[in-house]
Amino acid sequence: MKTAARRLAVAKSPAPPVAGAPLRLESDYVLEQHIGHLLRRSHQRHVANFEKGLGALDLTPTQFAALAKIGERGEVSQNLLGRQTAMDPATIQGVIQRLMARNLIERRADPSDRRATLLRLTPAGLALTQNAIVKVEAVSQTTLAPLDARERAALALLLQKLSGLA
Amino acid sequence: MKTAARRLAVAKSPAPPVAGAPLRLESDYVLEQHIGHLLRRSHQRHVANFEKGLGALDLTPTQFAALAKIGERGEVSQNLLGRQTAMDPATIQGVIQRLMARNLIERRADPSDRRATLLRLTPAGLALTQNAIVKVEAVSQTTLAPLDARERAALALLLQKLSGLA
DNA sequence: CGAGAAACGTACGCACACAAACAAAGCCTC
DNA sequence: GAGGCTTTGTTTGTGTGCGTACGTTTCTCG
């Protein structure tokens, strides 16, 4: 009912808003060729592959990045982790909370800096991360499937330049 | 107070959760070299440039994509627009609502298919989109600044392959 | 023709992602 | 050593982005 009512409300506007031929851009802007759109679509496709490929583990790309980085460093502050994984303090906050709720990481106050919080993996988190790393390799292969070896290397280099990592 | 209380609650766990040396991954996984991370960071950087560059217009990349596509086609259904801009039906919904709330687009029922809704630009929407297109070109230049002309062409081609557009 | 399948839009919930504003703790300089 | 700046983490608000479920309408096929 609600739906029908709303649609009627929209449809009942007779002439004022919609008069003649639709307005068009005169410029021939091609969305599909623009770097932003291409980056967005490529990233989108990879994220979809990721969530397919890790299905049972129930990890998002950002959650995985956080786990991998903590596991690499042993123990990191929340803030440093954010910088290393390119996440806002506000963003990392939610990620940490969700990982902690699943008992994959634990935190303690930094004894030498009472502002900071140190993060480390739990045994469960370590096991899950090891497991995930294997599957993530497969996901990367899926994402990169349209490219041959030379193209893959070229793309990696270009993206590193683009994102300021090279 | 709330903050202090929470921090104490965390800090008061004495030994059980945090015992000895932190757990580490034995594998030498390098987050920074993986395609997903590179795509994420590159996209992230571009979005930041975009929001800087369009500042006053107050458009997000997706909102701009929707406007540009509507302006190119004259009048499109919401669903088709979603496919053309690579957005979920659920995602395009919110975008449309926000653009409509700002009176940049308007909608009417499709006379030949009562399930569908047709979208078109308002005069204000057309003017804003024309204006935005110019600025978006500049944003793309900013994003691509680390690359020379040959690299830009190569990157565009690779991303088109990667996202299924070529 | 009529039932089932498919398409369109909507609604809700979860997870990023960032800006802005804030409190607490540390640093730094005069 | 005291005031000011910075750093760390939190909270709130807005905007994507998708899964899922839903109601309506259209299409398709027997």
Chain A residue with CA closest to B163: the answer is: A42
DSSP A81-127: HHHHTT--HHHHHHHHHHHHHTTSEEEEE-TT-TT-EEEEE-HHHHH
**Is B160 within the bounds of a domain?**
yes
Task: Out of A5-14, A20-29, A54-63, B137-146, pick the least confident.
Answer: A5-14
Count other C-beta atoms under 10 Å from residue A4's C-beta: 8
A113 touches chain B (CB under 8 A): no
For residue B36, pLDDT beyond 70: yes
> Alpha-carbon distance B22 to B48, whole Å?
35
Q: Closest nucleotide (CA of B60 to C1')?
A: D15
Radius of gyration of chain B, Cα coordinates, nearest whole angstrom: 23
Distance in Å from D11's C1' to A109's CA comes to: 20
B156 contacts A74? CB cut-off 8 A: no
Domain membership of residue B135 (yes or no) is yes
Does the residue A25 lie in any domain?
no
User: Is the per-residue pLDDT at A152 higher than 90?
Assistant: yes
**From A46-55, A128-137, B88-97, the region with the lowest mean pLDDT:** A46-55
Q: Does some domain include residue B137?
A: yes
Mutate to test the interface with B, among A32, A95, A163 (most CBs of B within 10 A): A163
- Rounded, the Å distance between the CA of A20 and C1' of C17 is 40
Residue A4: pLDDT above 70?
Answer: no
Does pLDDT of A164 surpass 90?
Answer: no
Average pLDDT over every residue of B133-142: 94
Q: Is the separation of the CB atoms in B46 and B155 below 8 Å?
A: no
The number of domains in chain A is 1
Residue A162 sits at the chain B interface (C-beta within 8 Å): yes
In a domain, B42, yes or no: no
Whole domain around residue A136: which residue ranges?
Answer: 53-166
Q: How confident is the model at residue B72 (pLDDT cuts 50, 70, 90)?
A: very high
State the maximum Cα–Cα separation within chain B, in Å, rounded to a whole number. 70
Average pLDDT over residues B148-164: 95
Side chain identity at residue B64, one-letter code? F
Residues of chain A found within 8 Å of residue B22, distances taken between Cβ atoms: 74-75, 120-121
Is pLDDT above 80 for B16? Answer: no
Mean pLDDT taken over chain A: 87
Closest residue to C17 (CA, C1′): A91
Q: What is the DSSP letter of B110?
A: -
pLDDT confidence band for B19 (50 / 70 / 90): low
Section A66-85 average pLDDT = 95
Distance from the Cα of A79 to chain B's closest Cα (Å) equals 16
What CATH number is attached to the domain comprising B149?
1.10.10.10
Predicted confidence (pLDDT) at residue A6 exceeds the cutoff of 80: no
Q: Residue A30: what pLDDT?
A: 86
pLDDT in tens, A23-55: 888 877 888 899 999 999 999 999 999 999 987
Task: List CB contacts (< 8 A) between B82 and chain A.
Answer: none
Q: Two tokens at B121? A: 């630009």
Among residues A51, A150, A39, the alpha carbon closest in space to that of B41 is found at A39
Within a domain: B29: no
Query: In this structure, what DSSP letter does residue B22 have?
Result: P
Domain for residue A1, yes or no?
no
Average pLDDT over residues B67-82: 94
Q: How confident is the model at residue A22 (pLDDT cuts 50, 70, 90)?
A: confident
Are residues B130 and B138 in contact, defined by beta-carbon separation less than 8 angstroms? no
Mean pLDDT across B97-112 = 94
pLDDT band at A14; cut points 50, 70, 90:
very low
Q: Is residue B14 part of a domain?
A: no
Which protein residues have any CB–strand C distance under 7 A?
Answer: A 2-3, 6-7, 60-63, 86-91, 94-95, 98, 113-115; B 1, 3-4, 40, 44, 47-48, 51, 77-80, 82, 89-90, 93, 96, 110, 113, 115-117
Are B156 and A38 within 8 A, CB to CB?
Answer: yes
Q: What is the pLDDT of residues A81-103, one digit of tens each?
A: 999 999 999 999 999 999 999 99
pLDDT for position A15: 35
Average pLDDT over residues B120-136: 95
pLDDT at B46: 95
Instruction: Collect all residues with Cβ–Cβ distance below 8 Å to B140 and sequence separation of at least 6.
Output: A34, A35, A36
Helical (H) or strand (E) element with B117: strand B117-121
- Percent of chain A at pLDDT exceeding 90: 76
User: Shortest Cα distance from B65 to chain A (angstroms)?
Assistant: 7
